[in-house]
């Protein structure tokens, strides 16, 4: 399945998971306007389909998750008399769009600039050992978007500034050590196997509780604790009134797997 009349973003739904694949391997999955629009369309469909519980984002080809902005298209746009404004993944931050379902990034190869920023919008990141990470925008007199504002909130300031000010890539081992990614695996086959395992683990949990957790964490992480607690109260009360809240303890007491109804 593809959006926007193109094949540059592949979208598949199976086993209650959404698979979103950037599909410009010849261009290292660079984010041109078609990819950005297709990605946005896929994310909105993922958000709105109640049968889908977890998203997995990857890049085709084995060379890159994404090398970031399509600089050739950007150069052409800069030369145009009235350049049109591209749909941007960073203009449409997924949490601002109300995407509270968990998303896993499966990273294989270069994860740079807008590609790194795309992965940072995901909740869990797993990468192959060959992968590299960086924000090289200042080497082209550009500024990062999501990464500029959020990387230092996710990892120590010194590490974030090293990535942002040097434009130099870091290895998967360094990215794991600094907390950008959560796991390293040997190759692409192991990568997809591992992200499937993580998705399956997530789906053992009550879907509404999982989405509530993500919403509370993402909206409250930059607030003082007392405000974050106040933010969480109505969300927690809503979960406490669900049938699934009763089902979880009951299933434990009856020594069976819970049956989540999402209500």
Active site residue 12: no
Per-residue confidence (pLDDT) for residue 4, from 0 to 100: 45
For the chain, domains (ranges, CATH) are 9-203 (3.90.226.10), 207-253 (1.10.12.10)
Per-residue confidence (pLDDT) for residue 69, from 0 to 100: 86
Task: Single out the catalytic residue among 137, 183, 243, 254.
Answer: 137
The list of the chain residues with pLDDT below 50 reads 2, 4-5, 83-90
SS3 assignment, position 187: coil
Task: Label residue 203 exposed, middle or buried (CB < 10 Å: 0-12, 13-18, 19+).
Answer: middle
Active site residue 137: yes
Task: Single out the catalytic residue among 117, 183, 226, 254.
Answer: 117
Taking alpha carbons only, the member of 150, 173, 171 closest to residue 160 is 150
Instruction: Please tell me whether the overall predicted TM-score, pTM, comes out greater than 0.75 for this model.
Output: yes
Q: Residue 62 in contact with residue 188, Cβ under 8 Å?
A: yes
């Amino acid at each position: 399945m593809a959006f926007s009349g193109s094949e540059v973003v592949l979208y598949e739904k199976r086993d209650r998971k959404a698979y979103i694949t950037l599909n410009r391997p010849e261009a290292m999955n660079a984010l041109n306007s078609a990819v950005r629009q297709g990605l946005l369309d896929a994310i909105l469909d993922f958000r709105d389909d109640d049968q889908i519980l977890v998203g997995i984002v990857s890049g085709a080809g084995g060379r890159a998750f994404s090398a970031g902005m399509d600089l050739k298209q950007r150069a052409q746009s800069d030369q145009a008399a009235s350049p049109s404004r591209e749909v941007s993944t960073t203009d449409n931050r997924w949490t601002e769009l109300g995407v509270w379902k968990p998303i896993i990034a499966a990273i294989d190869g270069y994860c740079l600039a807008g590609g790194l920023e795309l992965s940072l919008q995901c909740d869990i990141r797993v990468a192959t050992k060959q992968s590299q990470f960086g924000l090289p925008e200042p080497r082209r007199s550009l500024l990062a978007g999501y990464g500029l504002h959020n990387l230092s909130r996710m990892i120590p300031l010194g590490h974030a500034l090293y990535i942002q000010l040097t434009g130099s890539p870091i290895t998967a081992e360094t990215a794991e050590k600094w907390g950008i990614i959560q796991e390293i695996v040997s190759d692409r086959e192991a990568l997809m196997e591992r992200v499937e395992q993580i998705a399956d683990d997530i789906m053992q949990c009550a879907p509404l509780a999982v989405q509530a957790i993500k919403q509370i964490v993402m909206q409250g992480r930059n607030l003082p604790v007392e405000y974050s607690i106040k933010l969480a109260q109505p969300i927690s009360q809503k979960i406490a009134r669900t049938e699934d809240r009763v089902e979880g303890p009951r299933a434990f007491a009856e020594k069976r797997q819970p049956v989540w109804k999402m209500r």
